[in-house]
Each structure stands twice: as structure tokens, then as C-alpha cells.
Structure 1
């Protein structure tokens, strides 16, 4: 199908509908997201902060609907890079591609670093150690890269298994916690309206205050659903399967995640104690279901972490490949090559691994944390720009028979999505702690602007409109 857009098909179309759905769901990963941010919610807004989740769900669903409109019409690797390049100007498309690349690189480091330090090390009883954590992270990155290079089909199968495991365990935990609270009486519905340790916080309702800060749970978790669009050239029937995966993953993750949050919150027996614990989710499960449950949770979280990281690395490789086959990424002659047997872009997959290793070796602890934190800003900014792009170019989009289509609702949905993305970026930038991550984001964007300037001056032919070369293998 890529041939209709001017490319010689090189990637193997091996992903079925559920596997495409699993790509988006694994990136979102409600178990991982809630495990990693529930403590922030308790310390910033208290248990009542979970009610910001439905707001984030509705907002992100609006964005997903807009992205699905694009994905149904231009199902190519590179997603927003391709959409902007073809419908506006390659220079604008390049900017979308660079933002997505930065978003995926920082996201990959965040996922795999957290898997090492917050999941695997506690699971195996290892004391906190930054050096050990970084070594484990490198090993995780290397294994993910090896799998992604070996076969997209294997990535799809392993990722589908990880999603099934995560879906099953989250449903089981929701039911088990509800039963435990009913039988033991430990826990209360009053937690759903409790401000917990923030009851006397003077800036609770202020701009950038506690309640606003609790939005990070939904904003940091319900992202990455567009990853299915990056795998469009490897999906079967992409005009239908990819949009459905994007929207369906947000709906499934949003509903399941909210049920999990409610079950966790009601199950809190001592809010102050749980808030002070190093891992509130594990603490709640240990109190209600016994401490062996903590280890089971860590195993499941490890599976979810690994699946999410593998999808992120694969998506990052696809954006590098997509930009390289158009001659617009540094080292494009190398990164556009697809292995004739595995039908995967080997060098483009190794690039995130190399960048990850160099980052972990060179950047010190505090700076690494700030770099990872900046990853929450990139998707919000990128989504906002995609919505703006849609509002500008929607009349240029061709319709495809049987493909996903919002019909007469497209403008109201897109306008609402734009309002939401502006609000989301504002929420993320409001805390004083966002200043350093913002500087990092601006710096990475500036680095990309320098290379774009190089292309415009030294290689303007690479930025010719509607340039669809068929690269030599």
C-alpha cells in the first residue's frame, strides 16, 4: 500500500488488528502509568485527585479521534511527519518528525530506566544503586533492539501477550481489591472525596497548585496511542485497523485505568501511611491482599514495562526510517536501509539503543531525571500541533471508502481537541519544577532547528515538496 504514496514497499505487512491495538495500548500501559504516578497524585492533591482522570480521558480521546482521521488517509511510517510533509511543506513536516523523535527517545529512556530501578531491582531484592540501575537499563535496551531487529511479527506477538497479561491482571486486581474491602472493612468510599495529606494546603486550588498538578496522572499515562500510526506500513488493512487501534486503545485504557484508580483509592486504609510509602500502589496491594501480591504485581509491571519500551523503540526506529528514506535525517543513507531478510530497518533500530547508552553513560543523575521528565511535554506539544495541522489541511484530505471518518463531527471534535491540548500544555508548564524540563525541550528543538537550517542551505533538494524517492536497498 505504500506504493500508492510513491514508495517501494520494503517493510513486511504482518500485524493483525489486535496486534496493532496492542501497539497503542502497550505504549499507554495503564498499569505502568498508574504505578509510576499515583504517589504524585497523593502528595499533590490527595485521593480525590483521581477525578482529574476522566477529564484527561475525554481530552486525550478528542486528540485520538483527530489523529485517527489522519491515520485513515495517510497510513505511512512516520505518521505526523508524513501528514505535515505531504499536506503543507516538508520543512514543517520535518519539524513534526523531529518532535516525535525527541518524544520517543525521552519516552524510551523513561520507560526502561523506570523498569530497571522501580521494578526489576525491587523484584530481585536489590538495594537502590544508580550504577546498577543504568547497567540494567542498557541490557533492557539491547534486548528490545535485538527483538525489534529480528522481526516485527515477533514484536507484535510478544507485545500482544504483554497486553493480555496486563489487561487480565488489572481486571483481577480491581475485583480482588473490591472484594477485600467488602470482606475486611479496611478501606472506605470516603477516600474518593478526601484531600489526604494536602487538606490544609493553601495553594490547593491555585494555578499550578495541588489539584492542577494531579492531572499529571492522566496526562503522563494516556499518551503514545499514536504509536500505531507509526507502524501503519506493517499493519494489515491500515485504513481501518490503525484508526480503530488508536481510538480503541484510549477508550480501553481510560476506562480500565479509572476503575483501577477507584479500586486502589477505596482500598486505602491509612491515607497518610500510604502517601508516605515509597510505592503507594504496592503498599495498598500488600495491605489488602498480602505481600506476595506485591511480587506478582512487580512481575506484571515488568512485562508491561518491557512491552511499552519495545513498542517505543520500534516506533522511534520507524520515524527515523521514514525521514531517512526521504533524505531528511542525519545519516539518512544508513538509516534508510531495510534488511532484506528480516524486512526491518536495522541501523534505524540501533540508533535509539546507541543514544540511550551514551545518555546513560554521560549524563549525571539529576540531569538524567530532568531529561526524562521533559518527555511529558513533548507529546502534549506534538498533539497540539497535529490538531492545528488538521484544522488547517482537513479540506485537502481525500476520503477513503470504508475508512474511519468523523463526518460532520470533525470540526467540533478538532476545535475541542485544540482547546484541550492548550489546556494540557498549560497544566504541564504551570509547576515551578517544569522550568528545567522546558529548557531541555527548547534546547532539543533548537538542535533540530540547526540541522533543518543545514538542510535548507546545503541540501535544499531534500526538502522539495512531494518528494517521494524510492531508495536503493
Structure 2
């Protein structure tokens, strides 16, 4: 697509929804796909959760990945329906604001903001403590990990501010490296097992150290707990929708990226899990290891391969964090230009030189730095764990919204559309999201994360109440035009007068 066509498309799409185009439309189809795939990052997800899987369910727990894949793919199909019709930064915030009302949209936006900012801290802190420090032979030290996390946050913010195109290129590189190395590692592991005999296909059905667990099949027990491997990994695919105003031909590229990233990550992740599990020579030893994936690599392929793995994991971590920061900045920008976010007059500003929202990008950076300084160690870990709940809740609300408004949605020629399958897909997706939330809150150690999630929702409720009392008109209006049939009776333009910031 030529630059002239891209600019025309940007103007047309933005004008349709009542906005002046400010962001630069530079992301091609693969780069849009890379945004979602980099956020999912199967290498990072499996690297971080495989040890928990071995301890709770044994190697056989890898098959729960397929359940999570099927459920998340259904959610992705529903989200793609919205992305094809409302390709705006802010994703679920925009969809709910325009198809329900701005109050509902604000709730979606706040949940997404909380999810992205906690996810950013989770990714970068894990990158520092579990990947970079072992890679450079640094002794485990939480304070050092926090310093490294701050440095990583600063670099990511600088890149996100400099250029959306640069972010897209970096993510594309990260995705290419990750996919290539995972496929190569799976093949190498299986060949090593075949040649040496160290490892066994029987591992795929083994309960390992959990064989005598009394609560293995119980509610919240070992087998149910390992569902978090898929649930914590196969998330963030809607990030492509959050970058829709910077994507070329967004009605087609964004929905395809959302669905394609889940499908590709799901297949690649299952291959990786099978390769790792078959390559386990001593289940008890690997389970007791601080980093089971690295241990398997070292045992089967030697120490140099372990180092290569850590480098690749670091690249994947960095790409995922960069996408998370960029997506978080876009949700802040989207809510701020509608005057529904604290300090909105500052947060909606876009640099005329870089065409990126600089203050909105600095905000997640500042929150991350402050968190690294003031939050105690245990609380930080719980905060990171709490981030897994936010996407599950948000996905459930998005699917519910779709079931409520689906008959009012228009049909855009050439855009992604499920047709007659939309209702059964959405119903099953809703059932799945309810199950996912139950799974995540069922373990006994989930109490603190639930409290943290509740606290962040309460904090948002305070600001929401302030707007209802003192800035009610902001939640009564919506720019642009409807994207569904019928006449919209609501006011569509914001009042001209700017109210005071908080």
C-alpha cells in the first residue's frame, strides 16, 4: 500500500468515527501480526510456567494447553468481529463506548489499562530476574533485578516514543527469531532423544512427582491449577486491535492478526511442550530444577545451547514488554482524547515529529519505575500474578457485549466475519471465559491476587464516581458516527468547552 493510499485510509477511518488522524499508519500485515504474537510469546510463557506445571500435575499436564488454545481461539474470533468494524486505538474501550454507552466503555478501558500496566511489570521483571541475570552469570538478587527492570523500561519507552514503525520492525525481528529457534530446538531435542535414548515418549502420560497427590483431580487441585500455563500465555492477542489506527487496511489486517496469532502460538507452543517433555531424562531432577526448560536444554544439547536459549528468551521478553508498553500507551491516549482519563489534556498529546503519544507512553514507564522502588518483594510478586486475572475478566465482558449488540452490527464488505457461526462461537466463548476465571481464582494461594485486582478496580471506581458527579457530560457523549444500523439518538460530539484536569 502506498503512503498516499495509507494517508487516505487513515483519514477516512478516523473521520468515520469522529477523530482527526494523528497517529502514523505504518504497520503492514506481518507487523500487525507480530504485535499480537510478540505479546503472546510462547517461549516466554512456557519458560516461566513449565516448572509450575511439572510440580502440580507432572508432564501429562501439557495437554491442558489444547483446552486453553481452543477456548482462547473462540475468544479471539469474537474479538476479531469487533476489530473488523471499529478499528480504533483503545480496542474494547472503543467497542463498548460506541455499542453500549461511554460508561460501560470506561469500565472496559480501565480494566484493559490495569491489565497492560501490570503485564508490563510482569514481563520486564521476569526478563531481568529469570533471563538476563542468569545469562550474565549474576547471582540472584531482587534489588539488582529491579534496577535492570527500570533500565529495560527506559529503553522500551524510548523506542516506543521514537517510532511506531521501529516498534513494528523490532517485534517482527523478535517474532522471527522466536519462531525459528523454537522450531529448531524442538527438532534438535527429538533428534537427541532418538540418538541417545535419554528421554521417553512415555513422559507425555506421566504424573511425575504429583503421582501421589491427594488433590490431583480436586477443584483447585494440581491438574486444574496447570491450566494457568495456557491461560497466562495465550493472552494479549487483542494488542493488534489496540494499534489499529497505525495499521494499514485495518479492517482486514487486524482481525486476521488476532486470530492468526492465537492459532500460530497455540501450535508452536504445543510443539515446544511436547519436545521438552519427551526430552526429560529424569523427571524428579528436572522438576526440582530452578529452571526446568534450561536444564532440559543443557542435559540434551549442552551448555552452549542453554545460553542460546536464554538469548532468544531475552529477545522474546523484550518484544513482549515493548508491545505491552505501546498498547498501554494507546489505551491511555484513546481514553484521554475522549477526556475520560486523569490528566487527559496532557495524555492525549501526540508529538508532531514522531507521531506517537509521548506523555501516554511515559505514564506506564513512570508507574513501573515507582512500583520497582516502593512495592515490597512479596507484594510485587502478587501484583504480577494478579495481572493474569485482568485479561480473563476483560475477555468475558467483551464476549458478553458482543452477544448483546451483535444484531445491531453492520456487515462491512471484505471485512472479517463469522457469518452464521457467530452466535454459537460467542456462546461457547462466554462459557469458556467464565470457566477460565473460575480456574484462576480456585487455587488457595490466589487470595492476594484477587484482593489486588479488586483494589485496582476500586481505585478506578473512585475516578469513575468523580466523573459521574463533576464531569457527567464526558460520559454522556461520543464522537463520530454509529457503526451499526438504525438511528442513534445520543449526542455524538463533545462539548466545546474543556473542563479542568485532575
User: What is the match of residue 432 of structure 1?
Assistant: 444
2:165 matches 1:187: no
Deviations 1:280-320 (A, max 9, x none): 00000100000111110000000000000000000000000
The structure 1 residue matched to 2:391, chosen from 360, 368, 379, is 379
CA contact under 8 A between 1:41 and 1:49: conserved in structure 2? yes
Q: What SS does structure 2 have at the residue aligned with 1:315? A: helix
2:348 matches 1:339: no
Structure 2, unaligned stretches of length 5 or more? Answer: 1-12, 481-492, 498-502
2:182 matches 1:148: no
Deviations 1:247-290 (A, max 9, x none): 00000000010010000000000000000000000000100000
2:288 matches 1:310: no
2:377 matches 1:365: yes
CA contact under 8 A between 1:85 and 1:465: conserved in structure 2? no
Provide the C-alpha distance between the structure 2 equivalents of 1:326 and 1:33, rounded to a whole number of angstroms: 35
Deviations 1:33-55 (A, max 9, x none): 00000001000000000010000
The structure 1 residue matched to 2:462, chosen from 443, 450, 468, is 450
CA contact under 8 A between 2:73 and 2:263: conserved in structure 1? yes
Cα root mean square deviation, aligned: 1.0
2:123 matches 1:111: yes
CA contact under 8 A between 1:65 and 1:247: conserved in structure 2? yes
Number of aligned residue pairs: give it.
Answer: 472
User: What is the match of residue 407 of structure 2?
Assistant: 395
2:56 matches 1:35: no
2:242 matches 1:250: no
Provide the C-alpha distance between the structure 2 equivalents of 1:146 and 1:398, rounded to a whole number of angstroms: 39
2:26 matches 1:14: yes
* Deviation at residue 187 of structure 1 after TM alignment: 0.4
Runs of 4+ that moved beyond 6 A: none
* Deviation at residue 466 of structure 1 after TM alignment: 2.2
2:138 matches 1:133: no
Q: Give the structure-1-normalised TM-score.
A: 0.99
Provide the C-alpha distance between the structure 2 equivalents of 1:350 and 1:370, rounded to a whole number of angstroms: 24
Deviations 1:422-450 (A, max 9, x none): 00000000001111000000010010011
Structure 1, unaligned stretches of length 5 or more? Answer: none
Provide the C-alpha distance between the structure 1 equivalents of 2:52 and 2:394, rounded to a whole number of angstroms: 24
Q: Give the structure-2-normalised TM-score.
A: 0.93
CA contact under 8 A between 1:86 and 1:465: conserved in structure 2? no
* Deviation at residue 464 of structure 1 after TM alignment: 1.6
Greater mean alpha carbon deviation, residues 137-146 or residues 462-471: 462-471
* Deviation at residue 465 of structure 1 after TM alignment: 3.1
User: What is the match of residue 490 of structure 2?
Assistant: none
